[in-house]
Amino acid sequence: MTQNGKQQLTRRRFGQMAVSLGGSAALPGWSRSFALQAQDVAPKVLVGGANSLRAHAEARGLLYGVAVDPALLDVEGLASGETKDRYTLLVLTQADILVAENAMKWASLRPTADKFDFSLADRFMTFAGQTGKRVRGHNLCWHEALPPWFKDVANKDNARQMLEAHIRTVAGRYRGQIHSWDVVNEAVNPADDRLDGLRKSPWLELIGPDYLELAFKVTAEADPQAKLVYNEFGIELDTPEQTVKRGQVLLLVRRLKARGIPIHAVGVQSHLQADGPQPGPGLVKFVQEIARLGLAVYITEMDVNTRNVPGGPDEQDTAVSKVYTDYLGQMLAQPNVPVLLNWGITGATSWLNATNATGNQRKDGSPQRPLPFDDKLKPTPVFLALRAALDAAQPAAAPAAVPASVAPNPAADQPTLPPGPPLAVPTPNVPPQPTPQRLYEPFPVQGSPIPPPSPSGAAY
Ligand code: G3I
């Protein structure tokens, strides 16, 4: 069957297929039990080992991952080799890099003004350490997810010190273990009508526009190995609103660079819609402009909203698959796009299906299908479309050399393993093919030695 043919498989056919991991004999206990569980249902879509998203990404020099809810991860079962939890096993088999969907936000970490609660964040880091996954930190400075006490306590006299102390404490706690930090999230908002495009967030109002410079500088001091990311939404389309916003993000990144602020990547969140206007040449040009500044672009939160797609699951899957194919076709052709994360892995845990996400509910009451696995944790045609898009990723010729001022630290690309014996993660049996040198990110296939730093300094 052709790649296109695969992408057009309907959900009905998928309904007869089961998740199955390939090569179970070579897997540790927890993976073997998962494979055996699924064996009596046929035909199967093989999603494990060499068939996984992470393996296909690695084969193209890309890093694939997902956002997770640490409370749902069976950390204890994994440690004892007993887990049969399907969510945990999906995360384990599909992703090389993880981000906590909420557990590292202010609202999660700061129950009171003078206390930190790291229980969920630490659980997340333990899971990542056990399984050898890289970790993205999300986020250190945002206008949302601030704790209820914040508005009563923060003022112009103490906000700078509060932001700095928070970053030093959080980024310092996980120093050396984070691949990349979303240092500042969603700071641009054209609707606020400022010349510099900055959002009138509490941070801007209390500290002034240089709160961004402060946040990046302090994070660099607290965790010198982490890549530092400015993360933004609503900049993917060529609509007038998003074109303006994209321009203002570029202005901001140029400002940070001109002031010598340590920043390594722009996160393009990529919360896309299955209907309506789609990303086009404007975003590609933006990615290329970012490359000229010596920065990478990470796709940090991809999902596809199916709220308005008429019809049933088949129609949703067809529409969503097309968005993945078209979007990743454009973005992964850019050599400075080495990292792709989905915002969740299954429809069961997607924020788009959360009970409090009222604006996102479908008229027919059925769940949205924004991700490669559905609300029953089964692979959908989107899984195959995403995997085919990874396979099709062809890095273009590398742009001009990265300026010395943003010389990378290759150590930040190494897997983060805390002390203690890590669990073996099945090394995918990827078909032999040359791993392309993707600009900024020569990620090794797991288990292979980390390559020495390139003298031209490519390791974002
Ligand atoms: O923590 C409470 C919990 O105690 C309570 O039981 C529950 C009942 O509804 O609410 C919980 O908090 C919710 C939290 O998600 C965890 O479920 C918050 O009300 C809710 O606002 C929060 O939503 C998150 C949202 O960010 C705001 O922080 C979403 O899960 C999360 O997917 C979303 O993620 C954002 C990224 O951080 C930035 N980019 C956009 C993306 C999607 O909006």
Domain limits, the chain: 3-11+52-403
Is residue 77 very low, low, confident or very high in pLDDT (cuts 50, 70, 90)? very high
* Dist CA 45 CA 43 (whole Å): 7
Lowest-confidence range among 154-163, 180-189, 434-443? 434-443
| Residue closest to 295 by CA, chosen among 332, 254, 326 | 254
DSSP string, 54-104: HHHHHTTT-EEEEEE-GGGS-HHHHHHT----HHHHHHHHH-SEEEESSTT
Question: 164, 186, 236, 441: which is the annotated catalytic residue?
Answer: 186
Residue 395 has a pLDDT of 52
pLDDT > 90? residue 226: yes
Average pLDDT, the chain: 83
Q: What is the pLDDT of residue 357?
A: 79
Q: Is the CB of 233 under 6 A from ligand 1?
A: yes
DSSP conformational letter for 198? B
Whether residue 441 lies in the annotated active site = no
Give the pLDDT mean for 252-281: 98
Query: What percent of the chain lies above the pLDDT cut of 70?
Result: 76
Task: Work out the percent of the chain whose per-residue pLDDT is above 90.
Answer: 75
Q: Is the CB of 102 under 6 A from ligand 1?
A: yes
Per CATH, the number for 3-11+52-403 is: 3.20.20.80
Q: Is the CB of 145 under 6 A from ligand 1?
A: yes
Best CA proximity match to 334, nearest among 305, 291, 364: 291
Active site residue 301: yes
pTM for this model (two decimals): 0.83
- Tell me which of 33-42, 203-212, 309-318, 348-357 is least confident: 33-42
At residue 24 the predicted structure's pLDDT band, cuts being 50, 70 and 90, is very low
Q: Is the dihedral of CA 258, 442, 382, 368 positive or negative?
A: negative
Protein residue with least CA distance to atom 26, ligand 1: 102
Among protein residues, the one whose CA lies closest to atom 4 of ligand 1: 108
Considering only CA atoms, which of 227, 177, 145, 150 is closest in space to residue 402? 227
Parallel/antiparallel/unpaired status of strands 265-268 and 227-232: parallel
| Spatial distance between the Cα atoms of 44 and 20, rounded to a whole number of angstroms | 6
- pLDDT tier, 358 (very low <50, low <70, confident <90, very high otherwise): confident
Query: Distance from the CA of 310 to the center of ligand 1, in angstroms?
Result: 27
β-sheet bridge partners, residue 68 = 100
Mean pLDDT calculated for residue range 182-190: 99
Q: Give the 3-state secondary structure of residue 39.
A: coil
- Residue-wise pLDDT for 110-163, tens only, equals 999 999 999 999 999 999 999 999 999 999 999 999 999 999 999 999 999 999
One-letter identity of residue 85: D
- Determine the atom of ligand 1 nearest the C-alpha atom of 138: 37
Q: Is the CB of 232 under 6 A from ligand 1?
A: no
Confidence tier at 454 by pLDDT (50, 70, 90):
very low
Q: 101 CB under 6 A from ligand 1?
A: yes
CA angle 431-423-371, nearest 5°? 60
At residue 28, the pLDDT reads 38
